Chains A and B, each alone.
Chain A
Amino acid sequence: MYDINDKKAYEVGDEVKLYECGKNAVKTQTNLKSQQKKDAYEERISQEAELQMRQMKVVAKNFVKKSKEMGATKAIASMMVGGAAVRHAAPLAEGLTNAINASDGFMEVMGTVALGYETAVVVAGGIAVAAGATYIACKAKELAHDNDLSGKFNHAYNNAKERLEPLKDSPIVQKMKKFATVAKGKMKTLNARSKMKSDNQKSEGTKASGIQMMSQTQHKLAQYKGRQKA
């Protein structure tokens, strides 16, 4: 039987078992289990995504070639190269978030070093048109607006759209749209996963504070016994 006069204080690392209870605990525990299942699912999906990514690299290269054959301007060609570059830089497994970050980084490099900011903005627009990723288009638009390039962006974007119109039903564009849809789904999964991780971290915090409180408990129990005797 436990003796409340035992002076040993509990410390972090002692074999204290903690069990979360109550309605909220059910949620946390369920999340933990479903995350394990999700991890296994993610692993399988990322392998499939990697394969798709390789295919997309080929598609992107072909797209560039095709646009040149159609007599596209330098800007259009840049868009295609940009699209291909972003696709190379952002493996599908990492989701659309990385694609967006990569496009930002790409724009920065292209903008300041190689082609000038104007072209870089156009590149991002091209990516959006090519992949059907509305979010990237909005992001590029925002950046263009912030840099007083809205007019040029709109002109380049519409120009790109017009030139790419004949290609919209081509198998290449269809593949790119499919790619964008998969990436979007991936981002949704990553967001849900991130939320789950945050919930679980909160749970770990609760457990840590529980152990800390254990160290105070014996002292209080001894005080209680003292009061009873008095």
Chain B
Amino acid sequence: MSEYQTENNFLIAEGTKGEIYFFVTSKKSNPQKPYIVYDGFDHAIFIRNDEQKIILDYINPEVRDKLRKSKEVFMIETIHENIKDTYPVMMRIVDKIPVDWGQIGLKNWEELALQL
């Protein structure tokens, strides 16, 4: 998992027509056939291009179901308050992401909340 990076702090917005936007910090290089792998649980993996795999950690429990049902979302990359790039991203929904999150220091939302 060493080639993965974790987003840590990002926003998901749901527009008036149910569309989903991810607000993340801008990344180097360009996205190529980006997609998100998600299983409806705590963390998702955003494959931005062949080189960049980003863990979208601790997805807010209130938006998980909507996200799981989405076929496409919009990624908005920002630098401070400004939008650097915006592009649609396909969702690939799987039963279970085959990653042991504990090995990279990630827990689930409830466990982390109890720890604080």
Residues of A within 8 A of B (CB): 1-2, 4, 6, 10, 14-27, 29-31, 206-207, 209-214, 216-217, 220-221, 223-224
Residues of A within 8 A of B60 (CB): 19-21, 25, 29
Are A21's CB and B113's CB within 8 A?
A: no
Q: How far is the CA of A39 from the CA of B19 in the complex (A)?
A: 36
Q: How far is the CA of A23 from the CA of B115 in the complex (A)?
A: 12
Q: A22-B7, A224-B86 are in contact. Are A2 and B17 (CB under 8 A)?
A: yes
Residues of B within 8 A of A25 (CB): 9, 58, 60
Q: How far is the CA of A206 from the CA of B12 in the complex (A)?
A: 12
Q: How far is the CA of A20 from the CA of B61 in the complex (A)?
A: 10
Residues of A within 8 A of B23 (CB): 210, 213
Contact of A214 (CB < 8 Å), options: B10, B15, B57, B63:
B15
Residues of A within 8 A of B57 (CB): 21-23
Are A16's CB and B16's CB within 8 A?
A: yes
Are A217's CB and B116's CB within 8 A?
A: no
A225 and chain B: residue at smallest CB distance: B88
Does B90 have its Cβ within 8 Å of any Cβ on chain A? Answer: no
A19 and chain B: residue at smallest CB distance: B60
- Interface positions, chain B 53-102, Cβ under 8 Å from A, are 56-60, 62-63, 74, 76, 78, 81, 83, 85-88
Residues of A within 8 A of B109 (CB): 26
Are B76's CB and A213's CB within 8 A?
A: yes
